Amino acid sequence: MSNQVHETAVISSDAQIGEDVTIGAYSVIEGPVVIGNNVTIGHHCLVEGATEIGDGCQIFTAAVIGSPPQDKKFQKTDRVYLKIGKDNIFREYVMVNPGTSAGGAITTIGNGNLFMACSHVAHDCHIGHDCVLANYVGLSGHVTIEDKAVIGGLSGVHQFTRVGYLSIIGGCSKVTQDVPPYSMVDGNPATLRGLNVIGLKRANLTSEVMLALRRAFKILFNSGLARSHAVSEVKEQLGNTPEVQRVLEFIESSKRGIS
């Protein structure tokens, strides 16, 4: 199967296009873009800059991928990058920016993520695999999203905040502090509401692991102990459970505090 490029599409001579690629009407591929195999780019899209798009990605109408970061410090001469993995879906009007020189110069996105309409990934963000950003989610610069996280529609995530593995954020939330792995947060500002029980079940975690996480969360967030003492208590009682270890490592490495 050959590439299907609409006659009105504009493709830079610097771009590298893989096989079985579809590019819709009035879309523009500008600069040293690298597009993998079996990628679909819809109508009126813009892909530009030092952007790499992995195999099997789908980019829907009017998405803007790789446009310069929305940062006053950015200079046109800066060498910045956007690297996108495989099988990601970018719905209508999604915007993704590359990194900045001050922030590591690269934005990265893993595999199998869904970015719903009008969501925004700002400069220097790092997103893992199998995440979902619902409609109108906004990630400020330098945000890290770990694998399998879900962010509800109209939520905003503050700069330098981390969202942990298999966590879920309720719609319309204002996230200003780190979201622990396996947790559920909601509100303005977002606060911890408990375990992401439905997510844990869908991930086929055993009842023993879920019980250990419940006990760990109770000690960490509901015991009234100081954070350092609570962490020590959980290490002593439940530290042999890998999932609990993940939570503890996340908390101990937090710089913004925990929601």
**Is 43 labeled as catalytic in the residue annotation?**
no
> One of 44, 85, 124, 126 is an active-site residue; which one?
124
**Can you name the CATH fold of 201-252?**
Udp N-acetylglucosamine O-acyltransferase; Domain 2 (1.20.1180)
Query: From edge to edge, which strands make up the β-sheet containing 150-151?
Result: 4-5, 22-23, 40-41, 58-59, 89-90, 114-115, 132-133, 150-151, 168-169, 183-187, 190-195
Pick the catalytic residue from 128, 141, 152, 199: 141
pTM for the model stands at 0.97
> Residue 29 in contact with residue 9, Cβ under 8 Å?
yes
For residue 144, pLDDT beyond 70? yes
Question: What are the domain boundaries of the chain?
Answer: 4-145, 201-252
**If you average pLDDT over residues 111-116, what whole number do you get?**
99
141 catalytic? Reply is yes
- Please check whether residue 122 is in contact with residue 140, taking contact to mean a CB–CB distance below 8 angstroms: yes
Query: Can 171 be counted among the known catalytic residues?
Result: no
pLDDT value at residue 1:
62
155-204 pLDDT, tens digit per residue, is 999 999 999 999 999 999 999 999 999 999 999 999 999 999 999 999 99
CATH architecture of 4-145: 3 Solenoid (2.160)
Residue 142, both tokens:
């330098």
